[in-house]
Chains A and B, each alone.
Chain A
Amino acid sequence: MAACSDTGRVRSHNEDSILANAALGLAVLADGMGGYNAGEVASGMATAVLGSELQHAFDARSPSEVGNDGQVWAREALVDVIGRTNAAIHLAAQSNPKYAGMGTTLVMAQFFDDRVMVAHVGDSRLYRLREQKLAQLTRDHSLLQEQIDSGMLTPEQARFSQNKNLVTRAMGVEATVMTDVAEHEVRPGDIYLLCSDGLNDMVDDETIAEALSGLSANLALCASQLVQVANDNGGRDNVSVILAKVLAPFPANAEQPGLLGRMQSWFKK
């Protein structure tokens, strides 16, 4: 796993926060919004609270077990933890005038049992490169995406829209939040990319795909080169990327050298 976050070329501070923990098979990326440093507070809370809460949830029960509602525990835990994180950010925004109106996007991936549970709110994305093909596994919660879905705009036209940066969902803005959670099977060789819109607004999919496949042997370099291309193209926003490469299968029923040890072996640090 490798991660890189940068302020970009235009903005004065970095409101993105990232958490990448190969040992836990967890990647979280948040793109904060709000005046002064409130955006950083919101995104920082999102990654910190989610990270610790999820660890508790999976200490209690393995992600692949069946949860209270009959579904896989990872899904239930993610929805629950994201809901509580949202409430925590919302409460902070309500109780401190400096943080009023702050919020953050979220995209996260929890790897377990040859699967990945993906959750997102807002316009931060998760892509997967499999057999040289790049696929976007999340659908933005944004005005532009709604216009594309309704046929008002083509994806090509959307690049020229002045209505960028309008998200229809965000963490912390209201007391509750609707989260999209999806489960995908994972194959060895897959590369997963979590990114803030500072990357995908500045770098086209083709370049992203080429970077992921060409530089897959060196994820840290791949992450920094992607950020560099975004900045060279203008760097109008904070740019954050987390890359996770799947080195080997990781079924839940394998002989257990301890959860931690297994997870560590799946990813390159």
Chain B
Amino acid sequence: MAKLILSMDNLVLKEIPLNKERTTIGRKAQNDIQIDNLAISGEHAVIVTILNDSFLEDLNSTNGTFVNGQQVKKHFLQNNDVIELGKYRLKYVNEGVAQAAQPDFEKTMVLRPDMMRKVAEHAAGKPPAETESGNLAPPVDLAPPIRKEPPAAPAGAAAVPPPAAADLPLGAIQVLNGSNAGKTLDLVKSLTTLGKPGVQVAVIARRPHGYFLTHVEGARLPTVNGAAINPQAHELKDHDVVELAGVKMEFFLRS
């Protein structure tokens, strides 16, 4: 479960678990997180938590709400974000990431339909009905979400290069003959296709442990250092010379 760590002048004051759908922050006593300081508005901000995600919203406070130094109106909180209200800091810690360490904990979970109602209401900008008075019939058109698997680590990882590939020097090819002689191409993509479509094509896969050449189409297989490769993936070594559709090119690793 996500939590907030409230601190001032690097002194930790308390930890607040985000176990409610709405956690309010402000100077007045009815707030879930009361900060009795004049720089804080009576109703300063609210954190809406939907399952494993939390959203921070400034409630038109006088002095504003800042996250990591930037003023925000509405913000999708990420692990280790620091919310600043006056001299106070609230660090957002979401330990959902740790659950990825138990990948085989596979449990189908059908969530209560009123969860979807809250999501819908929040999305529509309506204040959600109190859970205590939750005798509202769930809308029929919203089925409960079904958990397929435990949440994995944030999938933002998909957008960045695979971590293991970072250890591998960047590979590149340099064309040795023909009209493009001398040109180089860095192999930054996961898959780089080379050759002439319809004649002879090969692909170089950038993998965590190396670069692999594979035949795609054409009657002839590409050659590496003069010898035709197997139909299977062929690992390229520094300074290998690949010949494909009449074009010779050298593979090398940038150091």
Report A's interface with B, CB cutoff 8 A: 10-12, 31, 33-35, 38-39, 101-103, 105, 123, 142-143, 146-147, 150-153, 157, 159-170, 173-174, 178, 201-204, 207, 210-211, 214-215, 217-218, 221, 225, 228-229, 232-234, 236-237
Contacts and interface: CB of A to CB of B under 8 A. Distances in A.
B146 A173 contact: yes
Contacts of B116: 168
Output the residue of B96, B162, B190 with the most chain A CB within 10 A: B190
A146 B106 contact: no
B149 A33 contact: yes
B76 A153 contact: yes
Contacts of B197: 217
B255 to A, nearest CB: 22
12 contacts: A11-B104, A35-B108, A38-B108, A103-B146, A143-B50, A152-B122, A159-B158, A164-B152, A168-B142, A169-B143, A215-B193, A217-B197
B146 A170 contact: yes
A152 B151 CA distance: 19
B81 to A, nearest CB: 11
Given A214-B203, A218-B217, A225-B205, A162 B53 contact: yes
A105 B108 CA distance: 13
B157 interface: yes
Contacts, number: 176
Output the residue of B103, B145, B153, B207 with the most chain A CB within 10 A: B145
A196 to B, nearest CB: 10
A102 B145 contact: no
B41 interface: no
Given A146-B119, A147-B119, A236-B153, A35 B107 contact: yes
Contact of B143 (A160, A168, A236): A168
B189 A33 contact: no
Nearest to A36: B106
Contacts of A236: 100, 103, 152-153
Given A160-B156, A168-B146, A33 B50 contact: no
B162 A157 contact: no
Interface string B80-106: 000000000000001011001001101
B149 A215 contact: no
Contacts of A164: 151-152, 155
Interface of B: 50-53, 55, 76, 78, 94, 96-97, 100, 103-104, 106-108, 110-111, 116, 119-120, 122-124, 142-159, 162, 164-165, 189-193, 197-198, 201, 203, 205, 207-208, 214-217
A127 to B, nearest CB: 16
Contacts of A12: 103-104
Given A218-B217, A236-B103, A33 B146 contact: yes
Contacts of B103: 10-12, 236
Given A162-B51, A228-B205, A211 B191 contact: yes
Contacts of A215: 191, 193, 201, 203, 216
Contacts of B153: 234, 236
A201 B155 contact: yes
A152 B123 contact: yes
Nearest to A9: B103
Contact of A34 (B108, B120, B151): B108
Contacts of A203: 158, 190
A59 B205 CA distance: 43
B51 A166 contact: yes
A207 B191 contact: yes
A176 to B, nearest CB: 11
Contact of A233 (B76, B100, B157, B215): B157
Contacts of A160: 76, 78, 154-156
Given A147-B123, A167-B146, A162 B52 contact: yes
Contacts of A146: 119-120, 123
B145 A204 contact: no
Contacts of B205: 225, 228-229
A162 B151 contact: yes
B148 A159 contact: no
Contacts of A233: 157-158, 162, 190
